[in-house]
Structure 1
Amino acid sequence: MRSVRIPLAAAAPFVMAALVLAGCGTTSERASGGASPGSSKSCKGTDGKYTIGMSQANVAEPYRQRMDDDIKAAAKDVPQFDVKFADAAQDNAKQVADVENYITQQIDLLIISPNEAKPLTAVVKKAYDKGIPVIVLDRKVEGDAYTGFIGGDNVQIGREAGKYIAEKLLPQGGNVVELKGLAGATPQAERHEGFVEGIKGNPKVKVIASASGDWLREKGQAQMDALLKANPKIDVVYSHNDPMAEGAYLAAKAVGREKEMKFTGIDALPIPSGGIKAVEQGRLSATFTYPTNGKEAIAAAKKILVECGTIEKTQTLPTRLIDASNAAKIYAEENPTG
């Protein structure tokens, strides 16, 4: 069979057409898989209306209620946004179901603060793979199937807390008990890891016991009650959040031992029942700020949905020490109207 040679100039239009078709695919192919994972399929600019689903691990923790409140407040400034909220109440199965429900509703963007990392990873990936942008707050999931993570550096926070205890509260050494957050939640492991690093500079500081208070004041109080009975000499309580630190203080006060030890926490919410006031009023020696990320989450959602832009994969927010020297000043700055 004799081959036919086609001049290059004549062939060019056919080649270009083939490339265009190969790149675009059919309409059904584009709808089912053309959108890159986690990219917004519904960015309509300022004229659009967008439904955002917020999946919260629980609202029993004041920090998490404040996170929801901050998201609501920030969203009020974006008229295109309608934000729905779901409370998982520390139940992984319920949080999975909440996200599945959002996917069914075809929300435009998912914000999630996972109860635990591993159990929520698959459903977060499912949303992401369907083209729903996913912003993960505070607690991480496994892998990288999400659009962006916003949170504090929990290892650094734990490290700063450890250094404060080793250098300021116990320079001559002493006994520490650690009240941990919920097992399986990434901040729990990271705040412990950082703390262990932070106290290494003072070998006379000994962690003599630990217990999990699941981030809750009542459970922290109950765990501290048991720790007090088992440990006659405790110099410092390092708590992974302020509510558990307050619970520990109450447990110690109930048996007349609160003056024997110091208490430190993490969160520093600028509310009457928060950690800053607890420091100002003398119940806690120190706390460390841990931003709720609510304002930043809505800013990221606006950039994705309204501005059709992209966000950083990881946004790390800073922390700072709050002790008796600056608690009143910082509280006043955070609450200018009183």
Structure 2
Amino acid sequence: MTKRAYNFNAGPAALPLEVLRQAQEEFVDYKGAGMSIMEMSHRSKAFEGVNDNTERLVRELLGVPDGYSVMLLQGGASTQFAMVPMNLLADGKTAAYVNSGSWAKKAIKEAKLIGETRVVASSEDARFTRMPDLAAVELPDNAAYLHLTSNETIEGTQLASFPNTGAVPLIADMSSDIMSRPLDIPSFGMIYAGAQKNLGPSGVTLVIVRDDLLEASRPGVPTMLRYDTHAKSKSLYNTPPSFAVYMVGLVLEWIRDKGGLEGIDRLNREKTGLIYSAIDGSGGFYRGVAESGSRSLMNVTFRLTSEELEKKFIQESEQAGFVGLKGHRDVGGLRASTYNAVPLESCQALAEFMAEFQRQNG
């Protein structure tokens, strides 16, 4: 095999090499079935076992207690932006949202199409360089839920902790930092996350919902867009993205073998620490975009002194085997996405490249 790239793509993103090799070995013949996992019926015992094992690993790693349903759905987190209010925003209620950046704004836009929506905290005045202060957020008396985005991939900001919302369900889009650190699941009413950053390939979305919220779903929602439809059928109401579900299961086993979420959290902090140290120790040659208290452990965003120098950085980094360091088209700059499967060695190589680039261009 040729040398693998230093993959810092924001999503679809790096997958563990061990997982890719296992999938390669089982690709043509899954555990003696005489066929690939992609060829077999989703009603077969073999695939039901894959599906059940993936759900079990989600519950094990996150500590999901009884009283919550775990679903593996299609449509990405962008479909969840609409499904959440369609199911949970009852008449006479108000959906409360935290506006923390590009992805939060998309969720807010969809909620406004469904019903009464109010932004209760925002960092737009700071150009989303920090997360909003949620310590004393005030919710409407008739709040149906509070929705937040735990990590903004474009701006490179992340919530370090989550607010106590009392009786109001807390709903979190965790697409870019799910399974990267321990969570207190009982403090959430619902969590959802696209798989293509920390969980596996694109095509499947993890949804964890408290059962009492399922029971209170609004009537009149189309069958395929109802959470209770998929919860009752264990995510097998229609043909699932079977290969993506299988891959998520392999990635979850890899996380478990790395020491679970505590072990992954330690590794992620070490990885991003290398890059943030290169930024902070550059004497201003590199400038971090996010404020220090809101820095993401998943997406490191930074700038150079000019766009011309940034273009040179991207060109030379690509020649050196780095992929995905160009910032999002909406904001420009540079971004290194250091999701779970990005090896420590890739982050070490990037920090060394940054130091050498500064030496030659500073």
Asked if Structure 1 and Structure 2 have the same fold, meaning a TM-score greater than 0.5 normalized by the shorter chain, the answer is no
TM-score normalised by structure 2 residue count: 0.34
User: RCO greater where, 1 or 2, for CA within 8 Å and sep 6 or more?
Assistant: 2
For the pair shown, the structure with the greater C-alpha radius of gyration is 1
TM-score normalised by structure 1 residue count: 0.36
Higher share in helix:
1
